[in-house]
Amino acid sequence: MVCCLFVGFAPPSVAASSTEGALPTSGRGNALGAQVGFAAGDIDTGCLARDPTFCPRNTKNYTPAVWRVLESTHAALYMNIEYMADFGPPPPGSPQRTDVVPLIQTANHLGVPIVAWITLPVAEGTFFDEQNAFLAPKVIEDFHDWVATQRLAISDTMLDLEIPTGYQPIADALSGNPSTLEGMMRANVDPVGQCRAMLTYRDTISWAHEHGMSLSGTPVNFSIDDLADANMGMHDALDMPPYAPGEFDHTWIQAYRTEPPVPPGTPVDFDFGSGYVAHYYKLAQHYLGPTGQVGIGNIGIPPYDTLGPVVNDVRMLAGMGATSLFLYDFDATINTFGVSGLQAIIRAGSDPLGGAPLTTAESSITPEGNGAFKLFTTLNELANVLTLAVTASEGHPRQANAWPGGCGPMLPAPLR
């Protein structure tokens, strides 16, 4: 993600299934406004580990003043918890971290909602995708056991759903060089494998529901652009995990208005405008209903290096009816704006824009934002062409899998 509590401690049978403090899912008109949260816990201290994500977390920003703000506002922490590094079986020679448990215990004690943002070690791909879907069942089973053993309360569990090859090919394409991206897409086309992965995720959600766990996801923004033609071709060609209405309990689309320059340090303006954020919230609602929400970022990068645009975009989303959103990320927010800025951003969720200011914010898209939309439309069309070409070369020509039902029923077992 780049990107995302209760007084006392629940017994194990309750800790893994507690819904107290759960995030809202209702649509426009929610009296509580938008609950604001922050992707957190992913910044390490740096060490000589073979996988740097096994290094201890940097916890310097979890100060008493910050905890007081989180407690008083009931803002959520979307706490990064990594398989093998924090729970499950650690690889030989890599000591497991224990520093996330005290953070969650403090949040539980103060009534600060925790969404468990689950990622993988670098060796397993970092994010969940089509290629490593087979890991999801074991990861969620191990996480359920860990939560119960540690006696923690979790509001929701969120899988980070991205692409397995990193974002350099996308950045190259945005800069006018699509050749690497096209080659990668051609190599990834596998409609049968896509269905196998999608069913694995559905069954993992069913298992979670049967054991009292909510299970949600946070996909990259352009994944939802794939749905305009009612198929999942771009998902398959980029090996992104598809998602269907009602499959995940929440789906937070990563509607990041600003992206880091690639390579780091190059003077490239990737501000796509507040309307870019609004566009992806509208798509999330259109395709996924009230469970479709967004995350925004990257804090600390222009224009999100000043407080006004961040507050305005949170207020815009609240005015549009968003009920929960996260910012990427917590440490950048504290480092850039301090405790007072943190509080202002959280309070913006309860101060929705309306009237002309909301209309202006929703429609403010930069040329770079429109350029990104055109690129994603092109990628969608290219994926459809590549699917037919690749499958024809293999002797069984076919179109991309239809969305949402092209891989079969996607509704998981109901949450118990």
| CB neighbours of residue 347 within 10 Å | 17
| pLDDT for the residue 99 | 97
Q: Which residues contact 285 (CB under 8 A, 6 or more apart)?
A: 27, 292, 321
Read off the amino acid at residue 44: D
Return the closest-CA partner of residue 232 out of 217, 219, 222, 242. 242
33: left (phi over 0), alpha (psi -120 to 50) or beta: left
Using CB atoms within 10 A of its CB, is residue 189 exposed (0-12), middle (13-18) or buried (19+)? buried
| pLDDT for the residue 149 | 98
| pLDDT for the residue 91 | 85
- CATH code 3.10.180.10 for 12-393: no
H helices of 95-216, in order, are 100-110, 136-150, 168-174, 179-188, 191-210
DSSP conformation class of 74:
T
**Predicted TM-score of the model (pTM):** 0.91
Question: Is 134:200 a contact under the CB 8 Å cutoff?
Answer: yes
CA gyration radius for the chain?
20
Residue 88: which H helix or E strand, with range?
Answer: none
| CB neighbours of residue 366 within 10 Å | 18
Cα 110 off chain centre by? 25
Return the closest-CA partner of residue 299 out of 271, 336, 348. 336
| pLDDT for the residue 169 | 77
pLDDT tens across the length of the chain (416 residues): 433 322 222 323 333 444 434 565 444 445 568 999 999 999 988 887 778 788 999 999 999 999 999 999 999 999 999 999 999 999 888 889 999 999 999 999 999 999 999 999 999 999 999 999 999 999 999 999 999 999 999 999 999 999 987 777 777 776 777 778 888 899 999 999 999 999 999 999 999 999 999 999 999 999 999 999 999 999 999 999 999 999 999 999 999 999 776 555 665 568 999 999 999 999 999 999 999 999 999 999 999 999 999 999 999 999 999 999 999 999 999 999 999 999 999 999 999 999 999 999 999 999 999 999 998 999 999 999 999 999 999 999 999 999 999 999 999 999 99
The domain locations on the chain are 12-393
| pLDDT for the residue 54 | 87
Dump pLDDT digits (tens) for 119-146: 999 999 999 999 999 999 999 999 999 9
